[in-house]
Structure 1
């Protein structure tokens, strides 16, 4: 279970997050919903270690951790970026196995085996040797999910998972997220799409812009 307590973040004199608290329960999906300017992306960036909060506490299963830390106990959050952030010069297989072999020090054959399993689960069994430019938007997103899962995170986070895709893929995204939940993956989703959030979420956190806030 992930707990965020009393999180605060400002940029200059603009307060973005003011004493935010949230909990993501094991095997459940929390959706953070709000309009542009509500600070939801900043909140996600703090949780995933991409931004440094001014103050606040992060707990995983009751134990403090540092989202920006490099220790094994700190590497508990995975993230699927809005624009996927795949390495264009690496194949799908190389994108997925790079971090496990370099960061987790997994043997290459073990990392490849896990990547093949993830690709099969996500309907991409035949795509391992392709490059990102050869994939559709939906396929890139599934590769990004596989890459995040390969690091064995305790929480998988998404930044606006439907915004970079064709609208008719919205249901596909929902199905993937719900399928991962059935497999025991705990997930946190940032989205502006309330209908999408209500379809997949066990819990909703609605955020509104502060007077001086920005996303």
Structure 2
């Protein structure tokens, strides 16, 4: 279970997030919705350890937040253009988790099959559509065995027709017991996928 208590963040003295509180139970999906400038991505970066908080607590299973337990799928996917799909997924497990090449590749192929990307492992990011890149980015995050998977605006870089496909993929991952946190400005999408929603609004300048 993820607990965020009284989370506050300022940039150059201006509050971006103030006293954010929520609880996300295991296996559930939380959608954080709000307009641009509300601090949604900043909140996601703090939860995933890419940004520091000014005050407040982030607890995972009652313990202080532990880096590596939260995976993130970036809005622009951040795939390595010079690496194949398979190498994009296996790089971190081999380097960070110290998995052998054989184990990392076996896990990667299982994830690609699960995400309907079997047969694409030798391709490079430039050969993939936006939806396919997103699936590779999800597989790469899942390969690190996170307790929680976070998405930053998962529908914004995709054709609107793919929204239903993304909804289905997130709900399919939920069936496997994965806890997910989704940042989005798309209220309908959020409503369709989430067990709970947190709405945040931009704060006025201090």
**Do the two structures share a fold, i.e. TM-score over 0.5?**
yes
Tell me the distance in 2 between the aligned counterparts of 1:135 and 1:212.
Answer: 42
Offset of residue 212 of structure 1: 2.2
2:56 is matched with 56
After TM superposition, the score normalised by the length of structure 1 is 0.94
Tell me the distance in 1 between the aligned counterparts of 2:90 and 2:4.
Answer: 30
Tell me the distance in 2 between the aligned counterparts of 1:212 and 1:182.
Answer: 42
1:179 aligns with 2:179: no
Tell me the distance in 2 between the aligned counterparts of 1:34 and 1:172.
Answer: 22
SS in 1 for 2:7: strand
- Aligned-residue RMSD, C-alpha: 0.9
SS in 2 for 1:23: strand
1:45 is matched with 45
1:15-50 C-alpha deviation (Å, 9 max, x unpaired): 001111111110000000000111111111111111
Offset of residue 59 of structure 1: 0.8
Aligned residue runs from structure 1 range 1-215, under 5 A: 1-66=1-66, 74-212=67-205
After TM superposition, the score normalised by the length of structure 2 is 0.98
Tell me the distance in 2 between the aligned counterparts of 1:152 and 1:13.
Answer: 36
Tell me the distance in 1 between the aligned counterparts of 2:49 and 2:60.
Answer: 14
Tell me the distance in 1 between the aligned counterparts of 2:65 and 2:39.
Answer: 22
User: Structure 2, unaligned stretches of length 5 or more?
Assistant: none
Offset of residue 56 of structure 1: 1.5
SS in 2 for 1:75: coil
Tell me the distance in 2 between the aligned counterparts of 1:204 and 1:150.
Answer: 27
Offset of residue 3 of structure 1: 0.8
SS in 2 for 1:18: strand
User: Structure 1, unaligned stretches of length 5 or more?
Assistant: 67-73
1:68-103 C-alpha deviation (Å, 9 max, x unpaired): xxxxxx310000000000000000000000000000
SS in 1 for 2:106: helix
